Amino acid sequence: MNVLVTGGTSGLGLAMASALAATGASVALTGRSGERAESVAAGLPGATGVEMDVRDESSVARAVDRVWSRLGGIDMLVNNAGIGMRTVNPRFMTQPQGFWEVPSDAFRAVIDTNLTGYFLVAREITPRMLASGGGRIVNISMNHSTMRRAGFVPYGPSRAGSEALSRIMAADLRGTGVTVNLLLPGGATVTGMLPQDVASEDHGFLSPAVMGPPIVWLASDDAAGVHDERLVAAEFEQWLREWDSRQPNETGKQEPDAH
């Protein structure tokens, strides 16, 4: 399995890249700094680091070309690159701002990264997957409650938009051999997106490692036909049991009903 993880130098992206690499997948992880991406990749077995600014079409095209050439194709795209509320309001957890207080340039920066970035990378890779006979796309999302939370403009709208994008991508690609699914942690996670004063305290936040088991499963043979599903990493074991129970046989390899 050749996997491209955008925003893979830290947080959720690094946790997923690490879990995939540990299973033997060939992983390419991206970051805005090519030097940092290469440095982080050097710590993972068989991984490669590539510079990519998901906001820039030419940067996306160059990076995808490079990864496709290095790996000999891309079987799975993990759309993960994003920036959070900390870039807009460093104290967003304790002193939330009303949407009317958010600078327009900060709003655009988050939307460009978290929503337009998902679109640009998927748009670049999907035709290649279709031409090669199939592939898998996993778009990283967040809890619906966060999309409606006071003080969460523009992060909430950006992730709500990326979730709608994912559902439409799944509808557009149904029956083509390219699958699309959503994956989210299921709660606040200890990453660089949290304010430093909050992240250093014990609030029962999830570890980024929670993303490992579901992303490894989504890359497995068992998930070959899984399409248009929304997986919550913190509830993955329960979700998998329920998913297995919906299958018409014991292999778990047939495509579930869309819902």
Instruction: Give burial (CB, 10 Å; 0-12/13-18/19+) of 249.
Output: exposed
pTM of the entire predicted model: 0.88
Per-residue pLDDT in tens (0 to 9) along the chain, 259 residues:
999 999 999 999 999 999 999 999 999 999 999 999 999 999 999 999 999 999 999 999 999 999 999 999 999 999 999 988 788 887 877 788 989 999 999 999 999 999 999 999 999 999 999 999 999 999 999 888 888 888 899 999 999 999 999 999 999 999 999 999 999 998 776 554 444 554 444 456 788 999 999 999 999 999 999 999 999 999 999 999 999 888 876 544 444 444 4
Alpha helix (H) residue ranges in 32-77: 34-41, 57-71
Nearest alpha carbon to residue 110 among 94, 140, 92, 88: 88
What is the widest separation between alpha-carbon atoms in the chain?
54
Which residue among the candidates 68, 92, 155, 217 is catalytic per the annotation? 155
Sequence-distant (≥ 6) Cβ neighbours of residue 230 within 8 angstroms: 141, 181, 182, 183, 184
Give the HSE-up count for residue 98: Cα atoms under 13 Å, Cβ half-sphere.
Answer: 2
Residue 155 bears catalytic tag: yes
